[in-house]
Amino acid sequence: MHVLILGGTTEARRLAELLAAGAGSAPRVTNSLAGRVAAPRLPPGEVRVGGFGGAEGLAAWLREHEVDALIDATHPFAGTISFNAAKAAATAHVPLLALRRPSWVPAQGDDWHEADSLETAARLLPTLGRRVFLTTGRMGLAAFADLDGLWFLVRSVDAPEPPHPPRMEVLLDRGPFTLAGEREVLRRHRIDVVVTKDSGGAATAPKLTAAREAGLPVVVVRRPPVPDGVQVVAGPEQAARWIEERLHGRTFPAAG
């Protein structure tokens, strides 16, 4: 059995590890990475880097490499590849599963301002603060490039390229982050508003707790929807179970 994991996330690496631990019953696994990070953490199994050439290219790859199951474990905001995966899986008649970490949920004391896009988030900022902790990654900074009255601390794994805000400091770092560390970032840089995508998961959630403790507003960009008709699971263990069902032709009770 050949499984293609569209990955680059913590959940994708964990799924690859679970499948590799299957020893003699383990399927063949190919991990596909987009190539946007210069030095990604490589999962076990075969690794390919780069795009497929849209839905048609992915469908052709699925056929050529005799893929039996496709797992979309990309970042919740990698919307284009998710829709290409759904179309390619339908075209190539390959079962598809989406692995998505759950969204964050506001807690008591949070001051969240939801936005449908980075552009909407940028329009909200001038009414909320002047020193912005921007944690949406290095892609999409053009949405904030005209806000010359604000100062930005931009955190990303790799250095961003223009266009980006004119008044900006870059913090190169990779999660997981600690609550103590996030408190110090907010204090040291005198942050008064935080911007984040609703990525979910524990690795980057401490910034939300730190903002709540400091009484800071947080602009939360909503994640795009999963394509219609695609089955979704929340964790790598559930995805591994789904694959095992197909590998051994067995049906397991649904996870609680």
Give me the mean pLDDT over the 104-130 stretch. 97
Q: Which residues contact 123 (CB under 8 A, 6 or more apart)?
A: none
The fraction of the chain above a pLDDT of 70, given in percent, is 95
As a whole number, mean pLDDT of residues 122-132 equals 97
Q: Count the neighbouring beta carbons within 10 Å of the beta carbon of residue 15.
A: 28
CATH classification (class only), 111-221 = alpha beta
State pLDDT tens for residues 157-214. 889 999 999 999 999 998 899 999 999 999 999 999 999 999 998 888 999 999 999 9
Return the domain boundaries, the chain: 2-102+224-248, 111-221
pLDDT, mean of residues 69-94: 94
Same fold, 2-102+224-248 and 111-221: yes
Between 37 and 225, the higher pLDDT residue: 225
pLDDT the model gives residue 24: 56
62, 129, 89: which is closest to 227 by C-alpha?
89
Higher-confidence residue: 201 or 2? 2
2-102+224-248 has which CATH code?
Answer: 3.40.50.720
Mean predicted confidence (pLDDT) in 226-242: 95
Mean pLDDT in residue range 143-154:
97
pLDDT at 68: 96
